[in-house]
Amino acid sequence: MENNSDIIYGKNSVMEALIAGNREINKILISKNIHTDVKISKIKELAQEKGIVFQFVGKEKFQPYAEFNHQGIIAQISPIKYLELDEFIENSDISFRSLVILDGIEDSHNLGAIIRTCVCAGIDGIIIPSRRNVQVNSIVEKTSAGAINHIPIIKVNSLVNAVQKLKENNWWIVATDASAKDNYYDVKYNDMNFAIIMGAEHAGVSKSLLKASDFVVKIPMQNNFNSLNVSNALSAIVFEALRQKLKN
């Protein structure tokens, strides 16, 4: 499928999209052979409530989506709405907020896991560049387990400009780099707006962004093994930020 941004699949993804209600669902296709469990019942109930069409169809309808782990359920949905950075910055009804900035993440599963981790850790938004980074597609939506509906994704043309704008608006920028001196837990996250920059799986955070950052931190790797998956690295950092906030 060339353009798959209008399909979401899997029980959790469809249920979460129904609950969130922030995107238009045109139609839900359910396999005739599906085992009706609690989640399927809930999906039917929510769809009826919201007046959304659902159809029981033969398995041939799922043929085009064979590459996906669709669990016998697919929804045709309006593409995700990206937020403008200005909108996000202006909408400052709470005192201190947090962002994650992704610089060149290539893998859809990683982006999905990152979105999920950010929602669980209370991050307020995710910035991705419009080029040189995976965009939100069906695999991302599925891997995020519906988390995509709980956090704004902000797409920008230039990460350097975005960082500049954040700094002008009283945000502090924390970049990660394996050669940093400070550890990620040395930063005090609880009394400022902060944005954490995570780099590409191989190349890391680009030089121009490292230079623009207020803090550059590393995760102290043991066993001389410096190859943590990007979503697991991010998890360590955002939950440390949450720990500091909750402990305060």
Is residue 146 a contact point for its own copies (CB under 8 A)? yes
Smallest separation (angstroms) from its own copies to the CB of 69 = 11
Smallest separation (angstroms) from its own copies to the CB of 117 = 5
Q: Which of 174, 129, 123 is nearest to 147 (CA)?
A: 123
Closer by beta carbon to its own copies, 29 or else 43: 43
Options 42-50, 133-141, 190-198, 235-243: segment touching its own copies (CB under 8 A): 235-243
Smallest separation (angstroms) from its own copies to the CB of 122 = 3
Smallest separation (angstroms) from its own copies to the CB of 53 = 27
Which residues inside 94-123 make contact with its own copies, applying CB under 8 A?
A: 109, 113, 116-117, 119-122
Closer by beta carbon to its own copies, 28 or else 233: 233
Q: How far is CA 229 from the centre of its chain?
A: 15
Is residue 35 a contact point for its own copies (CB under 8 A)? no
Structure tokens that stand for 81 in this block? 């709405």
Q: Which residues contact 97 (CB under 8 A, 6 or more apart)?
A: 124, 125, 193
**DSSP β-bridge partners for residue 51:** none
Closer by beta carbon to its own copies, 100 or else 163: 100
Closer by beta carbon to its own copies, 1 or else 221: 221
DSSP notation for 34-64: ----HHHHHHHHHHHHTT--EEEE-GGGGGG
Q: Which residues contact 211 (CB under 8 A, 6 or more apart)?
A: none
Distance CA(97)–CA(95), nearest Å, equals: 7
Smallest separation (angstroms) from its own copies to the CB of 144 = 9
Any idea of the CA torsion for 177, 182, 183, 188, to the nearest 10 degrees?
A: -110
From residue 192 to residue 231, the character string flagging contacts with its own copies as x (rule: CB under 8 A) and all else as - is ---------------------------xxxxx-xxxxx-x
Smallest separation (angstroms) from its own copies to the CB of 42 = 15
Is residue 71 a contact point for its own copies (CB under 8 A)? no
Edge-first strand order for the sheet with 182-183 is 153-156, 125-129, 98-103, 193-199, 171-176, 215-218, 182-183
The residues binding its own copies (CB under 8 A) are: 12, 109, 113, 116-117, 119-122, 145-147, 150-151, 183, 185, 219-223, 225-229, 231-233, 235-236, 239-240, 242-243, 246-247
